[in-house]
Amino acid sequence: MRFLDVAATSAAVGATSGRRAKVELLADALRRLEPAEVAAGSGWLAGELRQRQTGVGWASLRDLPPPAAEPTLTVAAVDAAIDRIAAVRGTGSQARRRGLVDALYAAATADEQRLLTGLFLGELRHGAQAGLLADAIARAAGVPVTAVRRALLLAGDLREVAVAALTGGAAALAGFGLRVGRPLAPMLAQSASSVDEALTATGTPAVVDVKLDGIRIQVHRSGRDIAVFTRSLDEITTRVPEVVAAVRALPARELVLDGEAIGLDETGRPLPFQQTSSAAARRSGSAGTRPGEPDGTEPDDGDTAPDDTAPDDTAPDDTGPDGIGSGSGAEGPPVAPAVRAAAARTGETVLTPYFFDLLHLDGTDLIDLPGRDRWAALGGTVDASLLVGRVEVDGPEQAGAAFAAALDAGQEGVVVKAPDAPYDAGRRGAAWVKVKPRHTLDLVVLAVEWGSGRRTGWLSNLHLGARDPATGGFVMLGKTFKGLTDELLRWQTERFLGLATERGDWVVRVRPEQVVEIAFDGVQRSSRYPGGVALRFARVVRYRDDKTAAEADTIDAVRAIHTARSGG
């Protein structure tokens, strides 16, 4: 299949609003892929490269060669070229990688170049979400969509499921099951602005789990072999020796656990997320073995940096006074002896695991059981010191008290859960609903970056600044393109070109006049920005034409939020 056809499908899907029409476009492209092309091609249609790490970033994509006049690339040729790029290592790798990138782009037409850039940068947003791809795979393969979705949940890999459906049909899809050692897409939580709203979705009675600000982990154990995966299904086993030690000390033979790993200070209060993620990113050395693989298996880079790790959709069990574990007290939660011993050997920050769900136990899959049954099995298998705080509630008053207790303990919020719901892997439904305090600030736009992919030709990524009352200037806090509709993109492109003081090929610097309201989940320390802090998960709420830059929030207000969240 021609690579140009994939690019054309991507563009057509992005320009189409109807779900059914999008599915038909995607299904038609999937049918035209050769069997050997399905893994790469289906991933591209979902906006993902088969090669998770290529070493190609913005710097590698500057000053690219002009596009080819005629299309010559095939799906197989592009996939092979990206394989070669991803394999570059060692001395002189930057120059060799740049040469390979230039050669690929020189052979690509303008439309193909746009698709390549979106794929390399992970910014291909043409509206083909996993749910749409599942429907399209079912349509293209002539199999029930329920069979595709079930296989996708258990495999956690859309490309693998697409290959099975398009080459083996329903029989191949039926072969997918929960396999210890192979991660599955975690169950996710939708958001609510209050516990009352969350209870409306889940119903009552419900359970309220403390939402930890850590790294989502899925732990697989088969005998002595243990593997730890992130939310994005990357393996980080060697980076979390405390998790491996804690799970190895449990009495079960086979386990699949869902939970969080979080750093704690000497009092047992949670460390800021940035410190937890940095501790995980630093780790190396042997800590465990992935089930079914030889010793020394190296994990892929996981979501261990603040921009990559989404500490979303956590959950917990038996709330103690500090809101973490059932055995915790005023001085902080107990840390399992195996965890403490592993941390003592490394001499680094203790990353303590806390679990909130059990998906497999000694040969039996539990994902289809109601939550109350899974959690009962969890409580009978995992020591109380390794369980996240959970309380059962009958109404808003109890849920509100649990929410307040979690925040007082320095936690991120809560997740309200329906106890009769199965584990809906990979789905974000009403059975789990997260509630976090939402911060907003009125900030000033300092510069804007030109968009890529579907946003090519529009000013997209905003540079955000807080007012510095000491100098009268503005302090940059980070960037965001989240929350921008097509209408806002059009408006802000015209607006900021009118405010431009310097127009570069990549960044347009503007007069600091436009105020924008930004919602965010927290403030973290940062050496990247001059104020020493940065916003986490920032997103645009609205532009504030009713405010001047002199009325924007100050850097002192931002630092106060960080100080309050980190306990001083």
- In three-state form (DSSP H/G/I as H, E/B as E, the rest C), the secondary structure along 191-243 is EECCHHHHHHHHCCCEEEEEECCCEEEEEEEECCEEEEEECCCCECHHHCHHH
Cis ω on the peptide bond leading into residue 205 (within 30° of 0)?
yes
Which CATH number is 3-174 given?
1.10.3260.10
Q: Name residue 103's amino acid.
A: A
Strands 188-192 and 428-435: parallel
**Residue spans of the chain under pLDDT 50:** 284-333
Q: Which residues are catalytic?
A: 211
Fold of the CATH domain 439-566 = OB fold (Dihydrolipoamide Acetyltransferase, E2P) (2.40.50)
Edge-to-edge order in the sheet of strand 364-365: 225-230, 215-222, 254-263, 351-361, 364-365
pTM of the full structure: 0.60
**Left (φ > 0), alpha (ψ -120 to 50) or beta: where does 181 sit?**
left
Domain boundaries, the chain: 3-174, 188-435, 439-566
Q: Say yes or no: domain 188-435 is CATH 3.90.400.10.
A: no
Q: Name residue 140's amino acid.
A: A
Query: What tokens were used for 78?
Result: 């592009």
**Element containing residue 516 per DSSP (H, E):** strand 515-520
Residue 355 pLDDT? 97
Distance of CA 139 to the CA centre of its chain: 28
Q: What radius of gyration, in Å, describes the C-alpha atoms of the chain? A: 24
Residue 567 pLDDT? 53
Residue 103 has a CB neighbour count (10 Å cut-off) of 14
